[in-house]
Amino acid sequence: MIFQLTEEQNLIRNMVREFAETEIAPTAKKRDEEERFDRPLMFDKLGELGLTGIVFPEEYGGAGADYISYAIAVEELSRVCASTGVTLSAHLSLCANPIYLFGSEEQKQKYLVPLAAGEKLGAFGLTEPSAGSDAGGTKTTALRDGDEWILNGTKIFITSGGDAETYVIFARTDKEAKKHNGISAFIIEKGAAGFSFGKKEEKLGIRSSPTMELVFENCRLPAANLLGKEGEGFKVAMKTLDGGRIGIASQAIGIAQGAFETAVDYAKERKQFDTPIGKFQGIQFQLADMFTQIEAARLLVYKAAYRASKGLNYSTDSAMAKLMASETAMKVTTQAVQVLGGYGYTREFPVERMMRDAKITEIYEGTSEIQRLVIGSALIK
Residues that bind ligand FAD (CB under 6 A): 90, 123-127, 132-133, 157-159, 203, 206, 211, 360, 363-367, 369-370, 373
Q: Which of 33, 148, 365, 369 is catalytic?
A: 365
| Secondary structure letter of residue 22 according to DSSP | I
Question: Which of ligand FAD, ligand CAA, none does residue 315 bind (CB under 5 to 8 Å by kind)?
Answer: ligand CAA
Question: Which of ligand FAD, ligand CAA, none does residue 216 bind (CB under 5 to 8 Å by kind)?
Answer: none
The residue whose Cβ lies closest to ligand FAD is: 132
Closest distance of CB 141 from ligand CAA, Å: 18
- Identity of the residue, 113 or 123, whose beta carbon is nearer to ligand FAD in the bound complex: 123
Question: Which of ligand FAD, ligand CAA, none does residue 369 bind (CB under 5 to 8 Å by kind)?
Answer: ligand FAD
Question: Which of ligand CAA, ligand FAD, none does residue 48 bind (CB under 5 to 8 Å by kind)?
Answer: none
Instruction: Tell me how far apart the alpha carbons of residues 363 and 139 are, in angstroms, rounded to a whole number.
Output: 21
Beta strand pairing call for 166-172 and 122-125: parallel
Closest distance of CB 86 from ligand CAA, Å: 5
365 carries an active-site annotation:
yes
- Identity of the residue, 190 or 278, whose beta carbon is nearer to ligand CAA in the bound complex: 190
Closest distance of CB 241 from ligand CAA, Å: 5
Question: Which of ligand CAA, ligand FAD, none does residue 235 bind (CB under 5 to 8 Å by kind)?
Answer: ligand CAA
Instruction: Tell me how far apart the alpha carbons of residues 232 and 269 are, in angstroms, rounded to a whole number.
Output: 57
Q: Classify each residue of 326-348 as buried b or exposed e, where b means 16 or more C-beta atoms within 10 Å of its C-beta.
A: bbbbbbbbbbbbebbeeebeeee
Amino acid identity of residue 379, one-letter, is: L
- Identity of the residue, 122 or 258, whose beta carbon is nearer to ligand FAD in the bound complex: 122
Nearest to 300 by CA among 245, 342, 350: 245
Closest distance of CB 128 from ligand CAA, Å: 10
- Identity of the residue, 130 or 284, whose beta carbon is nearer to ligand FAD in the bound complex: 130
Question: Which of ligand CAA, ligand FAD, none does residue 374 bind (CB under 5 to 8 Å by kind)?
Answer: ligand CAA
Closest distance of CB 204 from ligand FAD, Å: 9
Closest distance of CB 233 from ligand FAD, Å: 13
- Return residues touching ligand CAA (CB under 6 A): 86, 90, 94, 124, 126-127, 133-136, 159, 179-180, 234-235, 238-239, 241-242, 248, 315, 364-366, 370, 373-374
- Whether the CB-CB separation of 208 and 139 falls below 8 Å is answered with no
Question: Which of ligand FAD, ligand CAA, none does residue 125 bind (CB under 5 to 8 Å by kind)?
Answer: ligand FAD
- Identity of the residue, 297 or 370, whose beta carbon is nearer to ligand FAD in the bound complex: 370
Nearest to 123 by CA among 293, 372, 364, 376: 364
- Identity of the residue, 339 or 370, whose beta carbon is nearer to ligand FAD in the bound complex: 370
The per-residue DSSP string of 301-370 comes to HHHHHHHHHTT---HHHHHHHHHHHHHHHHHHHHHHHHHHHHHHHSTTSTHHHHHHHHHHTTTTTS-HHH
Nearest to 251 by CA among 308, 301, 210, 193: 301
Ranges of beta strands (E only) in 209-280 are: 211-222, 226-227, 271-272, 275-276
- Identity of the residue, 133 or 284, whose beta carbon is nearer to ligand FAD in the bound complex: 133
Q: What values do phi and psi take at 35, rounded to 5?
A: 50, 50
Instruction: Tell me how far apart the alpha carbons of residues 45 and 320 are, in angstroms, rounded to a whole number.
Output: 31
Give SS3 for 207.
coil
116: CB partners within 8 A, 6+ apart: 52, 53, 56, 60, 61, 62, 96
Closest distance of CB 250 from ligand FAD, Å: 16
Which active-site residues does the annotation give? 365
